[in-house]
Structure 1
Amino acid sequence: MATTSKKSRRFRHRIAEGNFQNWLKAYLVISFVKDDIKTCVSEKISLWFEKLLKEISISKGKEKEICTECKTQNVLHCSTKHVCVMDKTMQCQFHNSAEKKYKPCPKGICKRIKDNIKAFHASKIPSWTNTRAERWCQNPWEIAKCFMPPNAYLNADSVDETDLNGILSVVINHKEFRDIFEEQECEMVRELVNKVRHAPELLLTTEELNGTIDTLSNFLSSSVYLRTYEKAKEAIQKIGKLKSAQLTVSANEISTILQEVKHSHTCQNVTRLLQRAIETLNEERTQEQEKLDKIFTLLENIADALFNIQRLSSAPVVQRSQPMTETMYQEIKQKMKSDLLKFNKQHHSTIPLSPLFEENDTALIGFYVFPKMMLTDVQTSMFRGRSKERRTKIESLHDIFFNNHERCKEMYVTADAGLGKSVFCKRLAVTWCHSHQPVKNSYFAEQDFQTLHEFEFFFLILLRDTCKSECEIEEMIQKQVIYHLDHSSLYTVEVVEEVLSRESCLIILDGLDEWTHPQGTLSCEAGCLGIPHRKSWEIQ
């Protein structure tokens, strides 16, 4: 018992010394930023939607009318890209009943709204699984959710119920905000929020806190549009007071923040810790404004509970020198792989029937025919430097990814335009999914399964959809894939880089001829400017 008491005091001292306080301060700043920009974003979306409805009414020659009948499934054709997924019987899981089949809007409104959502989306890939079409005409925020990461915001019915990352996603993806916010700054803030939210043991160093405060403060002050809002001035003042230890808050505010983080966190240890912290605050909650240091003193009472939670947990305590324990890494890795399988099935399992009907796709399985491919080996002669090409017919995927029994580091697939390079990339994605989640199907060759099963992770990057300032593959993966996974907030930059460095990963870059290296990229240290490049991690 004496030992337990001693260790409990150690944890109490650990909270009191400041690292937990730093984390809480950082999250307070994040809440200030959200309170500041939420009104601006919500108003902008509402004005855009009012203008859209007015245009629809004028074109129809009628007074403003609304539709509350059409569901999202009724508005979208089957198969819509990134939404419709075929089950084992080749039936669409999204349009899986008579009531959920596509049918034209009886008032001709919902299709116009859908077309405008797609037209105003930066990548033209709205998150249809986030939204309920029957609410479009009554709640503009229901439309805003189409611009957020998929499968994560269906129940966020208002801007108040949406976290800062969701709001920033609207700003990044909706063209109406292009002249108001810098995309790179929004991406930087979104990445920072993930880092704070999933900080190991909810601890931040003073250096990390100051970096967070400076980044978020600069984000607010850099926008001319935001400066017209009184909330922005208040937020910047609050951040300044927090940095100078002059900020006053209530236990109620702290409890609200802990409750928000608890709902978004999936780590069981952290969730239990937050619950005990909330319970402690609720016991002595006050609505009176108090100095932040006084609230921190109250929070020290959770030290005993923190020790008991960590002692009873099967996972070891995270040390500050380690980003995460091995157990935590393995849990996150498996969750990421599961999300990636789902993502690749949703986004890469279909191909268009015709460029004239882009809304209608067909399942790749059973339709795609493996092309005739040749392996070209260029050999240079020792005499006069002459080169000679030796061509060998490719019989299976093993011939592409392996040279005898040695795995190739880099492969290039070339062909004339329109001969199916992009579709071949999709075929690789589907084969990888089936190799890790086997189903009875004679479509795939067993050797192809075995070849792609060698890769633990599969990332397909469409270079035509990359930002003009991007040249690092890690950044492309983060923006095109990771941000769209179900549990994207778990997968910080550090987690992704850990996966890329430790696991066997297959990264496909489609459309190299459509990509050029950004000019004047000061942070780029790679010598090769002809292709997207990696940081320091090694190809596995």
Structure 2
Amino acid sequence: MASYKTLFQEKKNQNWLKASVAVDITRKGLIPFVTTVVTILHQAIRANVERTNCLPPGATCNSCTTPNVLPCRTRGFCGGVRSLPCKFHQHANFRNCPARICNDFKLGIEGHHRFNGPSWKNTNANDWCFNPWEVAKSFLPPDGYLNVQTADDTDINGIISLIINCTVFDNYFTCDLSLLHNICTKVRDIGRKLRHSPQLMMSDAELSECIDALKMLLKDNKYLASEPAAMDALTKLTLLENDKLRVSTDDLANVLSHAISTISEILKTEKNILQQHIQTLADEAVQSIAQARKEDNLELYSLKSTALKHDLQKHYLERCTSLDLGPMFDLNTPNLVEVYMPPKLSKSTVFKDSSDSSIGVNRNIVLTEIKELDEVFRNTGEQAKHIYITAKAGVGKSSFCKFIVRLWCAFQMNNREEIESLKSRGRGTYMNSCEELKNVQYVFYARLIDWRSRLCEMDDIVFYQVIRRLSKCEDYDMKFLREVLDKERCLIIFDGLD
């Protein structure tokens, strides 16, 4: 998580960013409400079209485009063009809808527009029957919203303009939205002021006025005061106002991205703007966000990797506790830590002798007793990448694997009692040197004798044989596992790799 205070040093810049976050919180809080009302509007227009033209319920048309339902020289679409046809009607002429839908749909949109001036350039009549938001785009400002596909993609200026321009919203507010000045126009003006602040600055008084207006909008008791998303946004605004809200790095990045984009457009026409100052602030913010995102990712990885280690230990303490004596012993399964006797181990070293080329290469195998457990994990003084444990059937290879797993758990949990218990029997003295195992961060133990899948990739086997059996397996995906295997020192034990 990042704080708006860490991105800028100047107090007025911090105020501007705090206000921008407040506006975005309000925008998100209004989206479910706006989406619901737009759907109601869409259904009402469709029902009226079907009733007027005696059409069956669900009748649709997808053959008409916007130029097909608007006569040439329609105001706000091609009204300023002297010659006929205009560029919008060169390949699509005005006509009556063959399905008797789109012309009346257009009248329905006009009838619900407070100023009788829909933004026809924003919308495509081809999608009116199917997409409520395509109808809603007719009530947005005329420029900059052609490619906006959903309410989530729409900024606060578009959301508030929709509420002001569409008369259906009158039923959901206590204030009179037809007045020249009301709470919605005040919020719209605040959004415009933020977007057109070239130096990204705001005074304390302006910030207070901004947050108060946003809270007043969300508190409207006719509908929004009891709408869950608006209530949640109001709570977040209060926390933000008191500097108690933790804002995600991505949210801060989005706010700054929109601001930089808007200011870049202003700079094209207003040459007296201090472009270098803006760019410096933007670069600082981008760098801070990148650093914050990196820290967020590291923090998340640290939390998940710690949880994975604890989950593995819990799993092994449950699954690697008993010592299987085999079918010849009619005894209760004993506890491994209490009775296991570490076995004598020998390392096989293969020497190649090719002195006599006439008979090929001779291989001499020399067995040497292992006196320190570290020797198991080393090969000619270096860490071994692959270790193979072989023995006749039934002599305890699986028990030795469990022993290694439980010993690792004991080291990780600093369980001195278990460590001393395992050292006290058999060849346990070679545990006096276990630095290699102590330094292993993760052990993944899979009993392949229980595995019937044909998966051959190491990470696939670990994921499905180990990770998927943990109590919190839903928290660890394959991407996270591969990150652990790449970053950490891991020991993977495949028991029964025949």
TM-score by length of 2: 0.52
Distance 2:140 2:62 in 1: 22
Are 1:282 and 2:298 matched, yes or no? no
Distance 1:216 1:135 in 2: 33
Distance verdict in 2 for CA 1:93–1:247, change over 3 Å: same
Equivalent residue for 2:24, pick from 15, 26, 31: 31
Distance verdict in 2 for CA 1:271–1:187, change over 3 Å: farther
Partner residue in 2 for 1:240:
238
Are 1:70 and 2:68 matched, yes or no? no
Distance 1:242 1:257 in 2: 15
Distance verdict in 2 for CA 1:62–1:96, change over 3 Å: closer
Distance 1:86 1:208 in 2: 40
Q: Give the conservation status (yes or no) of the 8 Å contact 1:251–1:286.
A: no
Q: Aligned partner of 1:274: which letter?
A: A
1:21 shift after superposition: 0.9
Q: Give the conservation status (yes or no) of the 8 Å contact 1:132–1:142.
A: yes
Distance verdict in 2 for CA 1:247–1:86, change over 3 Å: closer
Equivalent residue for 1:208, pick from 191, 206, 225: 206
Q: Aligned partner of 1:132: which letter?
A: N
Deviations 1:98-137 (A, max 9, x none): x221121110110111000011111111111111111111
Q: Please list, as runs of the form range in 1=range in 2, the aligned pairs for 1:12-161 lying within 5 A after superposition.
A: 15-58=8-51, 59-85=53-79, 87=81, 90-97=83-90, 99-161=91-153
Structure 1 residues not aligned, in runs of 5+:
1-11, 291-540
1:158 shift after superposition: 0.8
1:149 shift after superposition: 1.5
Q: Give the conservation status (yes or no) of the 8 Å contact 1:180–1:223.
A: no
Q: Give the conservation status (yes or no) of the 8 Å contact 2:219–2:225.
A: yes
Q: Aligned partner of 1:203: which letter?
A: M
SS at match of 2:171: coil
Q: Aligned partner of 1:154: which letter?
A: L
1:177 shift after superposition: 0.7
Distance 1:114 1:167 in 2: 21
Distance 1:84 1:38 in 2: 31
1:44 shift after superposition: 0.6
Q: Give the conservation status (yes or no) of the 8 Å contact 1:250–1:288.
A: no
SS at match of 2:86: coil
Distance 1:279 1:136 in 2: 43
Distance 1:227 1:71 in 2: 39
Deviations 1:161-209 (A, max 9, x none): 1111111111111110113233211111101111122224101111211
Q: Give the conservation status (yes or no) of the 8 Å contact 2:109–2:118.
A: yes
1:253 shift after superposition: 1.7
SS at match of 1:190: helix
1:57 shift after superposition: 3.0
Distance 1:126 1:251 in 2: 37
Distance verdict in 2 for CA 1:223–1:262, change over 3 Å: farther
Distance verdict in 2 for CA 1:95–1:205, change over 3 Å: closer
Distance 1:86 1:92 in 2: 12
1:234 shift after superposition: 1.3
SS at match of 2:293: coil
Distance 1:176 1:96 in 2: 31
Distance verdict in 2 for CA 1:274–1:101, change over 3 Å: farther
Distance 1:259 1:132 in 2: 28
Deviations 1:208-241 (A, max 9, x none): 1111111111121124211121112211111111
Q: Give the conservation status (yes or no) of the 8 Å contact 2:196–2:262.
A: no
Q: Give the conservation status (yes or no) of the 8 Å contact 2:218–2:224.
A: yes
Distance verdict in 2 for CA 1:14–1:137, change over 3 Å: closer
Q: Aligned partner of 1:250: which letter?
A: S
Deviations 1:414-454 (A, max 9, x none): xxxxxxxxxxxxxxxxxxxxxxxxxxxxxxxxxxxxxxxxx
Distance 1:87 1:176 in 2: 32
1:155 shift after superposition: 0.9
Distance verdict in 2 for CA 1:108–1:273, change over 3 Å: farther
Distance 1:205 1:225 in 2: 32
Partner residue in 2 for 1:537:
none
Distance 2:249 2:156 in 1: 22
Q: Please list, as runs of the form range in 1=range in 2, the aligned pairs for 1:252-291 lying within 5 A after superposition.
A: 252-265=250-263, 266-268=265-267, 269=275, 270=278, 273-274=281-282, 277-285=285-293, 288=296
SS at match of 2:230: helix
Deviations 1:262-316 (A, max 9, x none): 23332443467436523541244058599xxxxxxxxxxxxxxxxxxxxxxxxxx
Q: Aligned partner of 1:104: which letter?
A: N
Distance verdict in 2 for CA 1:239–1:95, change over 3 Å: closer
Distance verdict in 2 for CA 1:167–1:83, change over 3 Å: same
Q: Aligned partner of 2:22: which letter?
A: V
Q: Give the conservation status (yes or no) of the 8 Å contact 2:29–2:229.
A: yes
SS at match of 2:96: coil
Are 1:174 and 2:172 matched, yes or no? no
Partner residue in 2 for 1:198:
196
SS at match of 2:219: helix
Partner residue in 2 for 1:474:
none
- Number of aligned residue pairs: give it: 277
**Which structure: larger Rg?**
2
Q: Give the conservation status (yes or no) of the 8 Å contact 2:119–2:137.
A: yes
Are 1:162 and 2:126 matched, yes or no? no
Q: Aligned partner of 1:128: which letter?
A: W
Distance 1:14 1:262 in 2: 14
Q: Give the conservation status (yes or no) of the 8 Å contact 2:123–2:134.
A: yes
Q: Give the conservation status (yes or no) of the 8 Å contact 2:96–2:103.
A: yes
Q: Identity over the aligned pairs, expressed in percent?
A: 30
Distance verdict in 2 for CA 1:13–1:81, change over 3 Å: closer
Distance verdict in 2 for CA 1:96–1:75, change over 3 Å: closer
Q: Aligned partner of 1:174: which letter?
A: C
Distance 2:170 2:27 in 1: 19
Q: Give the conservation status (yes or no) of the 8 Å contact 2:72–2:79.
A: no
Partner residue in 1 for 2:349:
none
